[in-house]
Amino acid sequence: MNIDLHYLNTNKVNLLNFDRKKMQNFMHLIDEKSFRADQLMHWIYQRFCNNFSYMTNFTECLKNKLKNTSFIQFPYILKEIVSIDHTIKWLISVQNGIIETIYIPEKKRGTLCISSQVGCPLTCTFCATGMQGFKRNLLVSEIVGQIWLAYQKINNNTKHVYFPITNIVFMGMGEPLLNLKNLITALNIISDTCGFNISKKKIVISTAGIIPALNKLSKICDVKLAISLHASNNTIRNRLMPINKRYNIQSLLKTVLRFLQNSKLNKNGITIEYIMLHNINDSIVHAKELIKLLYNIPSKINLIPWNYLPNSHLKCSSITKINIFSKYLINKGLMTTIRKTRGQDIQAACGQLTGNNNYKS
């Protein structure tokens, strides 16, 4: 035990990287009982306390042990930008980069859109994050740190009454399934009753479809899935999303079907995200192909009006065309909704996240 403590003394750990199991292991390592892990998480994630000195139910001895072996460190907010529709975007500084976190207030819920990577390696042609390149995976502390910071900001906001955070979506920067290990630990913390205590029913992982990671995930834990399909055939998807050349539509949908067999959280079907792009994927022919693809996949389709990016040759489909496409799918029995675009004036909408700090607020 002494050897372990010596090791910890020279290499302090950030406790935000631990879910409950890891926190319990850590407590054992410093000769403390498991219930101290529950108490510590309660202080951090429910009472928003990051200072050991204020943890009043801890003995002085425990506080000192914690101070000598560990720390609680969040990334920090560089800038807050508020949209006319009250959406808030935070630019958050992490080691060698900037990530973005978006809060979207609605009538009966508050959704937080969080990032999983600094940049993104997928290079989807319609997405600003993808075009900007990839730096690295986020640490668990940086994933849960975004939520901790947002809670603080929403709770302490005096200018506007915001609905508390009720939903978390992994739809910010990055591909969450390429950061699987940290994603799973973060999910444990978000849904833990000693953590943020947000039900897994209220957490959505959006993915371009990394097949091996989906298979792994299916064996480890259940999550609510949104699949970025965006095309009705491989020719179009190859052009829009290079990852399709490795994992094509048919093999992806087969994997999704297998995932659904082991999933309780997706009983009402997964979400299929489909960006509407003028003259690329928005005709009735495409709608027909989409219906064929999804005939055996319990799903609801979310049509996303494409958000404009500078220097792109792409164009968003017209509202009329989106409505015709949507109505066609609905008439054929597919549950279909059109995503309301939020925070476009502050470049906080889907695919507009670049971590660009030069934006004028």
The residues annotated as belonging to the active site are 100, 350
Site for ligand SAH in 16-45 (CB under 6 A): none
Stretch that binds ligand SAH, among 74-82, 180-188, 193-201, 203-211 (CB under 6 A): 203-211
What is the smallest separation between the CB atom of 12 and ligand SAH, expressed in angstroms?
Answer: 33
Whether the CB-CB separation of 105 and 153 falls below 8 Å is answered with no
What is the smallest separation between the CB atom of 260 and ligand SAH, expressed in angstroms?
Answer: 17
179: contact with ligand SAH by CB under 6 A: no
Nearer of residues 55 and 304 to ligand SAH, judged by Cβ: 304
Site string for ligand SAH, 205-244 (x = CB under 6 A): -xxx-------------------x----------------
Structure tokens at 73: 């460190």
Nearer of residues 207 and 218 to ligand SAH, judged by Cβ: 207
Stretch that binds ligand SAH, among 22-30, 67-75, 278-286, 306-314 (CB under 6 A): 306-314
175: contact with ligand SAH by CB under 6 A: yes
137: contact with ligand SAH by CB under 6 A: no
What is the smallest separation between the CB atom of 122 and ligand SAH, expressed in angstroms?
Answer: 6
H/E segment holding residue 236:
helix 234-240
Could you give the dihedral angle defined by the CA atoms of residues 216, 222, 224 and 225, in that order, rounded to the nearest 10 degrees?
20
What is the smallest separation between the CB atom of 42 and ligand SAH, expressed in angstroms?
Answer: 31
304: contact with ligand SAH by CB under 6 A: yes
Q: What is the DSSP letter of 53?
A: G
Residue 334 region, left (φ>0) first, then alpha (ψ -120 to 50), else beta?
beta
Q: Which long-range contacts (CB under 8 A, 24 or more apart) does 336-341 make?
A: 336/300, 336/301, 336/302, 336/303, 337/300, 337/301, 337/302, 337/303, 338/302, 338/303, 338/305, 339/302, 339/303, 339/304, 339/305, 341/305, 341/307
| Binding test (CB under 6 A) with ligand SAH, winner from 37, 82, 127, 249 | 127
Distance of CA 93 to the CA centre of its chain: 17
| Binding test (CB under 6 A) with ligand SAH, winner from 126, 196, 247, 328 | 126
Nearer of residues 41 and 127 to ligand SAH, judged by Cβ: 127
274: contact with ligand SAH by CB under 6 A: no
H/E segment holding residue 67:
helix 60-69
Structure tokens at 221: 């834990």
Q: Furthest-apart CA pair in the chain: how many Å?
A: 70
| Binding test (CB under 6 A) with ligand SAH, winner from 171, 194, 225, 260 | 171
| Binding test (CB under 6 A) with ligand SAH, winner from 273, 293, 329, 336 | 273
Half-sphere exposure of 195 (CA within 13 A, CB side): 23
SS3 356: coil
User: What's at 28, amino acid-wise?
Assistant: H
Task: State the residues that interact with ligand SAH by CB under 6 A.
Answer: 126-127, 171, 175, 206-208, 228, 273, 275, 304, 306-307, 309, 350-351
